[in-house]
Amino acid sequence: MKVFVEIEEAAERLEDLIELALLGDEIVICRDGTPAATFIPIEKKEEAMDKILALATEGRKNVPVGATSNHDDVYNEHGLPI
């Protein structure tokens, strides 16, 4: 559910609004009746880490097997090869 609240009220009820967001509500902060920002819960760390590990396991699909990075064209701040 979306909960709309003006900035002044949000400042007074910040703790309550964060709790509502953690329960799944989307908190929409308004300035003079116009939506300006939202509070939504951050993913749980375990879920985020699972996504990162899955991406790492999947690898880069567009890189051919056995390809290596060639950095011969990399130079330092003096224009000399690294």
Show the DSSP H helices in 1-82 as ranges: 7-12, 14-22, 45-58
Which strands sit side by side in the sheet containing 2-6, from one edge to the other?
2-6, 26-31, 34-39
Could you tell me how many helices (H) and strands (E) the chain has, helices first? 3, 3
Q: What are phi and psi of 60, to 5 degrees?
A: -90, 115
Query: Given a cut of 80, is residue 18 above it in pLDDT?
Result: yes
On whether the CB atoms of residues 3 and 27 are closer than 8 A, the answer is: yes
* Global pTM value: 0.52
Residue 49 pLDDT: 80
- Condensed to tens digits (0 to 9), the pLDDT of residues 53-77 reads 888 877 767 777 777 766 666 666 6
- Condensed to tens digits (0 to 9), the pLDDT of residues 20-57 reads 998 889 999 999 999 999 988 876 666 778 888 888 87
Query: Given a cut of 70, is residue 1 above it in pLDDT?
Result: yes
